[in-house]
Chains A and B, each alone.
Chain A
Amino acid sequence: MSPDLIRLIWQSTLDTLYMVVVAAGFGTIGGMALGIFLATSRKGELLAAPAANLLLGLIVNATRSTPFIILVVAIIPFTRLVAGTSIGTSAAIVPLTVAAIPFIARLIEAAIREVDQGLVEAARAMGASPLQIVRKVLVPEALPGIALAITLAVVSLIGYSAIVGVVGGGGLGDLGIRYGYQRFMPEVMAAVVLVLILLVQGVQTFGDRLALKLNKRLRHA
C-alpha cells in the first residue's frame, strides 16, 4: 500500500474519531438530560409531567424509527443553521448528534428505571428533594448501566459515521465506499474494515471495564 493511501486511511480514521467523539459527547449531554427526564416524569413519578413525557417520548420514537440516511438528508436545513454548512466533517456531527441523543436517552432511561425503588423511598424518607434524588441516588446508582449505554452508542455512532459520507462527512466508511468499492481497491476496503473492527473492539472493551469498575454491587475487593 502506498504511503499516500496509508496517510489517507490515517486521516479518515481521525475524521471518524472526531465525528464520533464530538457527537457522542453532545449526545451524552443531551441524552442524559432527556433520559433522566423520561425515567422520572411519568404520572406519579419524581418529576411527574405526563404530558411532556408523552410528547418527548413520541419525538424520541419518531427520531429512532427514521432511517439514519433519511434523517441526515431531512435535517439538512437544521444542520446548515447549526454548523453554518451542510457539507463536511463538522457538519456531519449534527445529524450524528441528533440520532445519538434519543438513542442514548432511551438506554439511560432504562438504566435509571433499573434502580431499586427502595433507594428512592429511602432518600425521600431522608427529606431529599426530587433533584437531590436524581443527583445523589438515581444517577450514581445507574452509572454502570449508563457507561454501557454510552459504549453502545459510541459503537453505533462508528457505524453511522460511515453513512455521513453522502454529505461529504469523510471518515473511514466514506473512504471504504469511494476507494474500496467504487475504485475497486479491495486492500483499502480490507484496511478500513480492519481499523473499524479494532476501533469497536477497543471501545467495547474499555466500556465494559469501566462499567465493571463502577459497579459496586459485585464483590470485587
Chain B
Amino acid sequence: MSRPGASPIPIAMNAIIHPFPPPAEAGTAPREAVVTFAGVEKTFRPRQDAPAVAALQGIDLSVMRGSILGVIGRSGAGKSTLIRLVNGLERPSAGRVTVDGTDITGLSERQLRAVRRRTGMIFQHFNLLSSRTVFDNIALPFEIAGTARAEIARRVDPLIELVGLGDKRNRYPAELSGGQKQRVGIARALATQPTILLSDEATSALDPETTRSILELLATVNRELGLTILLITHELAVVRSVATDVAVMDQGRIVEEGTALSVFSRPRHATTRSFLAGEGGWSLPAFLDGKLLAEPRPGAQAVMRIVFYGPHATDPVLSQLAREHLLDINIISGAVETIGGKPFGTLLVSLPGDARTLRETSAFLGARGLDTEVIGYVP
C-alpha cells in the first residue's frame, strides 16, 4: 500500500484538468464574507413536553473568502449544529445565516437544495455509499444535479486524480483505508465546485499520520483552488495546523475568535486555555503541578509564560535577557509550532520572583514584541 502521508497530492496536479476556475487573486481582494451568521440562536426540544435546550446562542460569525475557519469546541458545544446551519440541514430558531450573499434562513426545502449544491460537506464517518465504487461515489453529486452521463465521466476522473486515488477508481469503500475513504469524501464534496467546504470532524476517526495527510490535502485545496473551508473539530492540532482563523465554542456560544495566531498566542477565555493546556509551554510539568502559589513570597521563584511569535519568534531574546540583566533563567518547558505558516512558540521559565526583576523582564520582552504572563510562584 502506498503511504497516504507521503504525497497527498499527485505531482501532476497542474497537468490535469483543473476542476475549478482559478482562485481570485489572493491578498489583493478585500476580505469578503462567504458565510455570515448574524444573531443566530438554535433551541431544541428533546421531547414535546421537555423544556427547550439552547444549542446555539447569539452566534455572530463570518467565514471570509479563501480562509480556513476552524471552529473548536468540546462535544456538545454546538459545533455540529453550527456547521449544519450553513447548508440548511438545520434551521436557526432566530437570527440569519447568509451564504454567498443569499439569506438562506427563509428558503424553502426546494430552494435550499440549490444552496446545498453550491456547498460541499465531508464527514467524520465519511458517509460513502457502500454499494458504489470510488468513481460512482464521486459521480453521485453530479447525478443529483442532473449532469449528463458523458459530462460526469469527464469530470470525475480529474477529481480522483486530485485526491491521489487514481489506482482506486473502481474499488468499493470497504476496500479502502480510512484516509482513502476521506479522500473520496473530499473529491465528492468538491465535485460541484462549491463556494465553501464544510468539514464535520473530518479527521476525528483517523490516526494522527492520516489526519496530517488529510489536513495537507485540505490546505492544498484551499491554496490551489481558493476554496473557503469551515471546519469543526475537537482537536487542537487540527485547527492549529490548517486554520487561518479560529472560533472557540463553549456551551453554544462563541467565546473567542480571531486569527489563529492571535487566538493561540493570547488566549483569553478559559475554554481556549483548557484546549492549550495539554501543549508544551502551556501545561505545567508534573513536579510543579498543584504547587504554584498565587502570591509572591520572599525568595520565591516566579513561573512566567513567554509567548513569542512573528518576526521575533526566532530571536535569541532569552540569552540577551540573561546577559543584559544578569538573570538566571531556568526553562521549564516549551514548544515551537507554526500557525498559519508563521513560527509561534511558548516557553515556561522560572526566574527570581521579586517585583523589580519581573517588571524589568516584562518590559524587556514586551519591547521585543513578546507577551509575558506570571502564572504563579514556587517557594
Interface residues of A, Cβ cutoff 8 Å to B:
116, 118-119, 121-129, 132, 136-137, 140-141, 143, 214, 216-219, 221
Contact = CB atoms under 8 A, between A and B. Distances in A.
Contact of A118 (B115, B127, B192): B127
Given A126-B116, A216-B132, 12 more contacts: A116-B125, A119-B127, A122-B127, A125-B121, A125-B198, A126-B121, A126-B192, A127-B117, A127-B145, A216-B131, A216-B172, A216-B173
A129 B113 CA distance: 7
29 contacts: A116-B125, A118-B125, A118-B127, A119-B127, A119-B128, A121-B123, A121-B127, A122-B123, A122-B127, A123-B140, A124-B89, A124-B116, A125-B116, A125-B119, A125-B198, A126-B117, A126-B188, A127-B117, A129-B113, A136-B143, A140-B131, A141-B129, A143-B131, A214-B131, A216-B131, A216-B173, A217-B130, A219-B174, A219-B175
Contacts of B141: 126-127
Contacts of A136: 140, 143-144
Nearest to A219: B174
Going nearest first, the 5 A-B pairs with the smallest beta carbon separation are A127-B116, A122-B127, A127-B117, A125-B121, A127-B113
Question: What is the predominant secondary structure among interface residues of chain A facing chain B?
Answer: helix
Contacts of B130: 141, 216-217
Interface residues on B, range: 20 to 34
Contacts of A143: 131
Contacts of B123: 118, 121-122
Contacts of B192: 126
A116 B114 contact: no
B127 to A, nearest CB: 4
A124 B110 CA distance: 11
A127 to B, nearest CB: 4
B105 interface: no
Q: Which of A122, A141, A218 has the most CB of B within 10 A?
A: A122
B127 A116 contact: yes
A123 B175 contact: no
Contacts of A127: 112-117, 141, 144-145
B180 interface: no
Contacts of A119: 127-129
B129 A137 contact: yes
Contact of B144 (A121, A126, A140, A214): A126
A132 B113 CA distance: 12
B87 interface: yes
Instruction: Point out which of B141, B143, B144, B188 has the most chain A C-beta atoms below 10 A from its C-beta.
Output: B144
Contacts of A140: 129, 131-132
A214 B131 CA distance: 8
A178 B110 CA distance: 61
A2 to B, nearest CB: 52
A126 B131 contact: no
A170 B110 CA distance: 53
A41 to B, nearest CB: 16
Interface string B117-160: 10101010101111110000000110111000000000000000
A73 B153 CA distance: 56
A132 B130 CA distance: 17
Contacts of A121: 89, 123, 127
Interface string B183-220: 00000100010000010000000000000000000000
Contacts of B115: 127
A126 B140 contact: yes
A121 B123 CA distance: 10
Contacts of B127: 116, 118-119, 121-122
Contacts of B132: 140, 216
A106 to B, nearest CB: 22
Interface in B26-46: none
Contacts of B119: 125
Q: Specify which of A124, A132, A140, A214 lies most central, judged by the most chain B CB atoms within 10 Å of its CB.
A: A124
A132 B144 contact: yes
Contact of B174 (A126, A132, A214, A217): A217
A216 B174 contact: yes
Nearest to A142: B131
Nearest to A125: B121
B175 A221 contact: yes
Nearest to B130: A217
A116 to B, nearest CB: 7
Contacts of B89: 121, 124-125
A141 B128 CA distance: 10
B86 to A, nearest CB: 10
B366 to A, nearest CB: 48
Nearest to A128: B144
Contacts of A214: 131
Which has the most chain B C-beta neighbours within 10 Å: A126, A141, A219? A126
